[in-house]
């Protein structure tokens, strides 16, 4: 009888350990990392995203290793954005002018949007699509209201606005709704 009890206790202990491990994994995978309610970039995601190879013959081609499924891909080194549909097809790609703060490589999610606001540089902007923050400054895509040209950030001001033309800002606004992944690569 003692051998049977020991076997039952061992089985229950193994089941409990497996359950705790599974619950810990679920909690880690769904725990928010900040006020945006979504986890920030993980070390493995940042490492993978930072090494996305380019097609040197076609610099506008979507970098391999930039994820899968519907997403916005933003290269901080190339100052380029790709809007990618659920079938991994590039719907649009365009150049942008970054702010003075670059987001770290990794995967984020669109956490808020504003139709029209004033940017951290004091300029009126529209179609703001935010996905993270750094040094208490929101980082996201936007277009300056005006002639349609993207602006260049004043290096003396902390800005997180990744500026697009108004036409590209309209495309981003239509594509990048709340919860759409934003993959930042080097």
First to last CA, the chain: 64
Phi/psi at 21 (nearest 5 deg)?
-60, -45
User: Reduced to 3 states, what is the DSSP secondary structure of residue 165?
Assistant: coil
Residues 151-172: tens digit of each pLDDT: 777 788 899 999 999 999 999 9
> Which among 163, 160, 133, 157 has a CA at the least distance from the CA of 145?
163
Looking at residues 96-104, what average pLDDT do you find? 95
At residue 89, the pLDDT reads 96
Residues 136, 166: Cα–Cα separation, whole Å: 26
CATH number for region 43-185: 2.40.440.10
User: Is the model's pLDDT at 62 over the cut of 50?
Assistant: yes
pTM over 0.95: no
């Amino acid at each position: 009888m003692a051998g049977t009890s020991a076997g039952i206790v061992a089985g229950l202990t193994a089941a409990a350990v497996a359950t705790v491990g599974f619950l810990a994994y679920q909690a880690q995978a769904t725990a928010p990392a900040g006020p945006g309610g979504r986890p920030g970039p993980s070390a493995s995601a940042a490492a993978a995203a930072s090494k996305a190879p380019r097609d040197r013959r076609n610099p506008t081609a979507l970098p391999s290793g930039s994820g899968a499924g519907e997403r916005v891909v933003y290269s901080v080194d190339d100052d380029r954005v790709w809007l990618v549909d659920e079938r991994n097809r590039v719907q649009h790609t365009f150049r942008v002018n970054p702010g003075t703060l670059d987001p770290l490589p990794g995967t984020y999610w669109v956490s808020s949007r504003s139709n029209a606001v004033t940017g951290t540089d004091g300029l009126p902007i529209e179609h703001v699509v935010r996905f993270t923050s750094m040094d208490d400054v929101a980082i996201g895509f936007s277009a300056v209201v005006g002639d349609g040209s993207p602006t260049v950030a004043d290096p003396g001001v902390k800005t997180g606005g990744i500026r697009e033309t108004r036409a590209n800002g309209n495309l981003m606004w239509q594509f990048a709704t709340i919860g759409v992944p934003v993959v930042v690569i080097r």
